[in-house]
């Protein structure tokens, strides 16, 4: 039985999410509310489970405890058909764009429609061209992925992510490897699509300057929990040691430079002091 539906202004509600992978607690009773119609950024040190969190939202992974509700549905409890139906409402932009190298741009965007619908060819064509127009690449429909720049590939992947007019788009490191022009193009698209389509966007990213331009809210996660959250323009100066280390790029702090280990002298074979 699904948990109670979230309030109208909350699309994703996470409560008590606990996940253990290879003996490491990735999430430790994590709580998070992601609002509808906004752009929310998930940030944090490497290895803190940001991409893993996206997998929980799409039902690719299940936690050891807790709830992950999307649009009022508790994702871990969904059966196969209900989970697939939910996924059709979620667009996903992969870090490396994940374009199919044997297909041209048009067929990359058309691929989900051909796999999951029985639409006539003329309608598929119109949908694909509409989505490519939205990302400024209708003229590139016949190009191969190898002919695209990194920024163009990211935009084609975004056109594919919106081909079903999703209620939610998940972006996994959308700014990696982009030059300043391509970065600004992707930022503009994220904000424009979010506003014109009325969708919800969740971004996993590290680039605070870029996030400041597009996000409405930031969650900073570390040690399996939300350690800070707030407005992108002010969160870096909230005074907490977590934000000071992460946004200031300090080598040591709450996230230690030294990975936990036993006694150093003993590891080198020296006798313990006082022995």
**At 255, which CATH number?**
3.40.50.300
**27/22 Cα distance (integer angstroms):** 13
Residue 33, strand partner residues? 13
d(CA 232, CA 214): 9
* Residue 164 pLDDT level (bands cut at 50, 70, 90): very high
Asked if the structure places residue 75 within a domain, the reply is yes
- For position 4, what pLDDT does the model report? 45
Does 132 fall in a domain? no
pLDDT band for position 252 (50/70/90)? low
Question: Any idea how long the chain is?
Answer: 275
Position 258 scores a pLDDT of 61
Question: How far is the C-alpha of 100 from the C-alpha of 69, rounded, in Å?
Answer: 31
Residues spanned by the domain of 183? 10-100+166-267
Q: What is the pLDDT of residue 2?
A: 42
- Domain membership of residue 110 (yes or no) is no
Q: Are the C-beta atoms of residues 235 and 60 closer than 8 Å to each other?
A: no
Q: Count Cα neighbours of 245 within 13 Å in the Cβ-side half-sphere.
A: 18
Q: Which residue would you say has higher pLDDT here, 78 or 244?
A: 78
Is 187 contained in some domain? yes
Pairwise pLDDT comparison (232 vs 161), residue with the higher score: 161
User: What's the pLDDT tens digit per position in 113-162?
Assistant: 999 889 999 999 999 999 999 999 999 999 999 999 988 999 999 999 99
258 DSSP 8-state letter: S
Please indicate, yes or no, if residue 241 is contained in any of the structural domains.
yes
Is the pLDDT confidence value at 273 over 90? no
- Mean pLDDT of the region 224-237: 85
In this prediction, residues 168-172 reach a mean pLDDT of: 94
- Residues 27, 160: Cα–Cα separation, whole Å: 31
Q: How confident is the model at residue 264 (pLDDT cuts 50, 70, 90)?
A: confident
Q: Is the pLDDT of residue 257 over 60?
A: no
Q: What is the mean pLDDT of residues 197-202?
A: 92
pLDDT at 232: 84
* Pairing, β 200-204 against β 168-172: parallel
> Is the Cβ–Cβ distance between 62 and 107 less than 8 Å?
no
Cα separations (Å) of 199 from 10, 90, 102, 242? 12, 10, 31, 30
Predicted structure pTM score = 0.83
The verdict on residue 215 lying in a domain is yes
| Cα distance between residue 60 and residue 92, in whole Å | 12
Q: Is residue 138 part of a domain?
A: no
pLDDT recorded at residue 239: 66
List, for residues 15-71, the tens digit of each pLDDT value: 999 999 888 889 999 999 999 999 999 988 888 889 999 999 999 999 999 999 999
**Number of separate domains in the chain:** 1
Residue 107 belongs to some domain of the structure: no
> What average pLDDT does the structure give for the chain?
87
The pLDDT of residue 10: 93
pLDDT of res. 47? 81
| Nearest CA among 70, 88, 75 for reference residue 6 | 70
Q: Would you say residue 231 has pLDDT above 50? A: yes
């Amino acid at each position: 039985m699904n948990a109670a539906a979230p309030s109208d202004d909350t699309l994703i509600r996470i409560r008590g999410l606990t996940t253990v992978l290879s003996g490491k607690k990735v999430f430790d009773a994590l709580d998070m509310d992601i609002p509808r119609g906004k752009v929310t950024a998930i940030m944090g040190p490497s290895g803190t489970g940001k991409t893993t969190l996206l997998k929980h939202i799409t039902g690719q992974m299940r936690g050891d405890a807790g709830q992950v509700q999307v649009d009022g549905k508790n994702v871990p409890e969904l059966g196969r058909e209900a989970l697939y139906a939910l996924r059709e409402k979620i667009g996903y932009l992969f870090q490396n764009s994940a374009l199919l190298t044997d297909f041209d741009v048009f067929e990359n965007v058309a691929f989900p429609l051909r796999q999951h619908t029985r639409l006539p060819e003329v309608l598929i064509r119109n949908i694909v061209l509409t989505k490519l127009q939205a990302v400024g690449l209708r003229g590139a429909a016949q190009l191969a992925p190898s002919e695209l720049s990194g920024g163009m590939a990211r935009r084609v992947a975004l056109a594919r992510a919106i081909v079903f007019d999703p209620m939610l788009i998940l972006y996994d490191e959308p700014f990696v490897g982009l030059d300043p022009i391509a970065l600004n193009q992707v930022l503009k698209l994220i904000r424009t699509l979010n506003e014109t389509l009325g969708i919800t966007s969740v971004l996993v990213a590290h680039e605070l300057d870029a996030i400041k331009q597009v996000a409405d809210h930031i969650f900073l996660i570390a040690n399996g929990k939300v350690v800070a959250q707030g407005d992108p323009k002010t969160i870096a100066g909230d005074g907490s040691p977590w934000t000071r280390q992460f946004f200031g790029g300090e080598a040591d702090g709450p996230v230690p430079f030294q990975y936990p280990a036993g006694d150093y002298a003993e590891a080198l074979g020296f006798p313990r002091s006082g022995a």
